[in-house]
A and B are shown apart, each in its own frame.
Chain A
Amino acid sequence: MTRAHFTTLAGGALALGIGAVAAKMSEPAPAIVPPLVEPAKSAMPVPARGRTVSESFAAALQKETGGKRWLLLLAATEKADASDMPGLIRAVGVDSAAVRMLAAHWADLDPSHMFHTVYAELLLPENTPGALPSRYTLSSVLFEQWVKNDPAAAVKALNDVPEFSGRENLRMTASNQLMKADVETGLRAMKDWGIRNYSPDMKGVAAWAARDPQRAAESILKNTEGYARQAALREVAKVWGNANPSAAFEFAAGLDSTSRAQVSGEVIRAWAERDAAGAAAFAATQPEGAFRNALGQSLVTEWGKTDAAAALAWSQGNLRGSAQTEAISGLVKSAAEKDLAGAAQLVATMEPGTAQNRASTAIFETWFNKGKGERAAAIEWLAALPDATVRKAAIERVQWNWAWNDPAGVRDFISGPNGALASHSLIQQVARGQVSKNPEAAMQWATSLPADRAAEARAAVLENWLSIRPEGAADYVRKLPVGEERSRAVSSVSQSLIYQSPQQAAAWYRTLGDAERKVAREVFDRSGLPEDQRKQLEDGLKAP
């Protein structure tokens, strides 16, 4: 190699390097940094990636209209294996009909492959570039198909899958499908997976129970807990109560007192539906008061639908204590659903007292829940009742749903002529909702209320204001005129701030006058702060 050649080669290499460095330096700074939270790592083997859809095919899927687009997809799916399915699903994008169709085929082809893929996808943050669309649709279709084709394999997969944040949802999806296909397996799976606070599809339970109610009841008691147990037992007891109530009661006698009351209650309800007099005669002859009470509530609730007066007389003669009160309330509710005026008349004939009060509450609740158009009349009726406790208790029975479904209606009610019926908790609930929107406007609303509820409403608004914008709430309090309300407000703010930050509580304290500092100091002293925070507070209070 001559020197000239060497110079040329060295220069060329240098230029190559400079070019590469220049290219590197010319890279733009990343505009958007990916999420700082790393995805959780897959603890199962991730299936190998299959083929992607060719550009021409992808374009056709986007461009074609009418049936042809679907036939293209159908033809491609026919030739695809499981590993190709993610590619096809990515190509159709967010098209729920197409995704469901492809998912059904994938689940038939190789549910295990699909499960492993979906599991790996569920570990990725949503909207990760390149992730499969509609991951929840995919898991739903997977278990719908898999449970139909091979429930044992589906259960095994969910037994073996490592713990991750989406596992409980997958198991709930699967148990819902299992309950449709095979009740016993479904219930067992729910028990093994610790699913309690979820009520799956119970449509299959009645048919299962009809084949052998005792076996069904035993299986439920052995394998289930929580809501599922209650719902399933109810279904079985219904079937058994129709077919052979004596056998059902005999079985229930061997259970613990809670299960016995539950099963027997449902059995007698079913019996009363076809033969109220027979069921009532049986209940009346039970020597054990607690058991008779348990039967009575279900019996008269059912009986109230057909002969409320007889059910009431039976309750008064055969039940006692709070069981009698609750039973009468239940039967009046049943009667009121069929004939409101008749039920109200029946309640009017009752002796004044707790049972009549609860029955009046039941009338109101049923009337109020008949619809928006009935509410005003129901409230007028309630307002005319003499007992303030009944009026408040009745509103409390409906307030949560009412405030959730119709917050504006509740607001109008509180500011209206019958607003004095509103309980403290209802005013709190409305205040919370309004403050979350606009605290200043909420305070104006509270101030505009009639005097008997304005102070309470203002206190509720302030309390909730402190939970959303403490600083703004404190500013509002500082502007209040001196007096009892301001003093109470200072106490509320101090209470809130001391748990937010000792420094902030101290800063707030320093803005107060002597009398109010005393109020704040009392709150701080009662707060039970940990030692380190107490010191921060004391240092802050001493600061100029």
Chain B
Amino acid sequence: MMIASRLLTFAACGLAGFFGMNAIGPRGAVRREISQAAAQSAPVGEMPMPAVEDSALVAEWEKMRSQYGREPGDLPTLYLAVKDTKDAFRRRAFRAALLADWAITDPRAALAFLREKDSGNVNQFLREWLRLDPQNAIAALLADEKGKGNLRSLLSDIAKVAPARLAEIAGALQKSESRFDSTARDAFAIFAQSDPDAARLAAESVQGVLRGQVLAGVAGVWAEKDGPAALAWAQSLTAGEARDEALKGVLTGWAKTDPAAALQRIDLVPPGGEENYYASDVGAQVLREAAKRDWDGTMQWLRDHPGKLGRSSLNGLQDVMSKRLNSNPAETMRSLSKSGLPGLDNVLANALLNDGYAQRDAIWQWLDGQPPSAFTTSARGWVLNAVAWKEPETAMEWIEKIPDTPENQSIIERGTMSLLNGGSQMDRFESFFAKASPKMRSSLIEAAFRFGGQGMSRDPALWIGRVNELPPERRSQAISGLASSWAAEDPAAAIAWVEALPSEKERSGAFSSAMSGWAQNDPVAAAQWLNTQPNGMNRDIGTSGLVSALINSSPEDAWTWAQSIRDPSRRLSALQLAQMGLRSKDPAIAKQMLESARLTPTEVQALTQTPDAQSFIRQ
């Protein structure tokens, strides 16, 4: 007995230990979820079911209802009165209550009224109707095109209240005008979460433009749970775009739970990106999910499979990279510097322009602590590029702090160029220039001349002064840039300035640019002026500029003008340009003109070897 009671006691203690442990805290993933949800602090008490009859606000609403009448015919007037309520909370609450009641009393009249008077609230009303009477609501909406338009935005609601109707609706909808539309896929994903088999059967029955989307919705959810089975199912579908979308769904879903398995199968399906839609191909989507789940593993896979996915697929990593930068900038930068994946610099650049921007100071600080390398130079360039776009004054301060050494010259110049953002920020040049230190002034001036702009021709004297600020060895390009812009507006003044330049080398380059700028804008006047010039080097230089301006618009004229050049080397260069223009327009005419021209054998040989314009562009 004693032994039996002891055994019973031990058993009771064992059970107590087992269940007690379970009672102490939730298990595994559940515990983790709760700890995250309780990131703030534990809740304090509960809100009980409110007593509607004690509410002053409800009483206010009832009073309003009584004032405007309670019959269905009174609701439009009441609705308009509610719409005029100034207090946003009351307006929203009363409108919601009214729409919900209207959905009971006369939904078709409500829909007609809202479509005419307040289309912005049609969907709110339809959600109420769907909660109450999904079958009739769906039938009413399927009856006309406007209704079908509403149905598209309500697909996720329908997936919850009437999933059995989803296939019929998806089959009736046309492709959305928005390329970002994924409502059908999202709705079938919701359906598949609650009833995978029914969702799969429903998706398989859908024909039409949304078939791919609905199959992908089911495939993604299924693959998260059972990748191999989902893959086998998708592969068994009839080949075509819809199957490819399903396969894309499988791989993207699978990557959420088993990144390596999904990445390993990336070649099973064509990229399937949406045209002109950033990071939408399957490589980008799988990388996004894979990196979210296992960053290091994904980096390793990319290293192990160079060339499998290209730069545009790597863009899928941008969101995760931004999050990692926000979570731990130093560690993320260290990981990138060691990754050995050159394509990631572009992803970093985009992350810095978006959500990763908040960490610019920390990243810059981290870069300051690193020995110089190709990675730190590139990363500094991207950080400066982002800061220059968002906070140019800050970028200027940072550039000022970079020691003015030959090794840093490229970073300083790149940062300065970023301030003007490829010329799109030229209107801000003056404000930057006013604040620039001597170190930055030269780079800014050079960048400005590279991008040009109307400002130069508006105030040439000012820009001549800026040219003179540059060290002599860096002036040629600036002089040519000014000559070209100025001559487009005022050729006589520009040419007078060019002719007065002291250096012959600068003079000849600028003269050619001035003629080109003038001829691009007014080729007839430019040609007439050239005809009045005496033979000699000046005329030859000017003619070269005219030829370069004419090669696209009038290559025949360019060819004729090129032949009038006397200096052999300039003549050959001009003839080559004109030949390229002619070949681009009509290779037969180009050949004929080449054969009929009076050229030296050396010129003919050189011109025969001139590449055509397209291969020139490609090179």
Contacts and interface: CB of A to CB of B under 8 A. Distances in A.
B295 A36 contact: yes
B47 A66 contact: no
A322 B92 contact: no
Interface string A355-372: 001000000000000000
A112 to B, nearest CB: 16
Interface string B584-617: 0100000000000000000000000000001101
Contacts of A54: 46-49
Given A78-B57, A97-B92, A504-B306, A19 B15 contact: yes
Interface residues on chain B, size class? 35 or more
B310 A88 contact: no
Contact of B96 (A87, A97, A456): A97
B265 to A, nearest CB: 14
Contact of A78 (B14, B21, B56): B56
B579 to A, nearest CB: 16
Contacts of B280: 436
Given A20-B20, A72-B50, A87-B47, A46 B40 contact: yes
Contacts of A39: 39, 327
A290 B489 contact: yes
Interface in A48-65: 48-54, 56-57, 60, 65
A277 B52 CA distance: 70
Contacts of A46: 39-41
Interface stretch (A101-109, A175-183, A199-207): A101-109
A519 interface: no
Contacts of A34: 29, 32-33, 36
Contact of B20 (A19, A53, A194, A468): A19
A13 B13 contact: yes
Chain B interface mostly helix, strand, loop or mixed?
Answer: helix
B514 to A, nearest CB: 12
Interface centre among A97, A436, A440 (most CB of B within 10 A): A436
A489 to B, nearest CB: 11
A84 B47 contact: yes
A346 to B, nearest CB: 20
A16 B358 contact: no
Nearest to B332: A37
Contacts of B435: none
Contacts of B356: 165
B52 A72 contact: yes
A69 interface: yes
B54 A75 contact: yes
A23 B270 CA distance: 48
Contacts of A257: 455, 458-459
Interface stretch (A235-243, A244-252, A493-501): A493-501
Nearest to B524: A353
Contacts of B403: none
Interface string A327-364: 00000000000000000000000000110010000000
A513 interface: no
B131 to A, nearest CB: 5
A23 B19 contact: yes
Interface stretch (B3-11, B195-203, B533-541): B3-11
Contacts of A416: none
Nearest to A357: B553
B283 A52 contact: no
B51 interface: yes
A499 B272 CA distance: 25
Interface string A73-115: 1111111100010011000000111101100110010000000
A75 B48 CA distance: 11
B261 interface: no
B306 A290 contact: no
B100 A70 contact: yes
Interface stretch (A128-136, A267-275, A299-307): A128-136
Q: Which 6 A-B residue pairs are closest in the complex by CB-CB distance?
A: A130-B37, A19-B17, A436-B273, A433-B275, A23-B21, A75-B55
Interface of B: 2, 6, 9-22, 27-29, 32-34, 36-52, 54-58, 61, 88-89, 92-93, 96-98, 100-101, 103-104, 124, 127-128, 131-132, 244, 257, 267, 270-277, 280-281, 283, 292-295, 306-313, 320, 322-324, 326-328, 342-343, 355-358, 374, 389-391, 427-428, 430-431, 454-455, 457-459, 488-491, 520-524, 552-554, 585, 614-615, 617-618
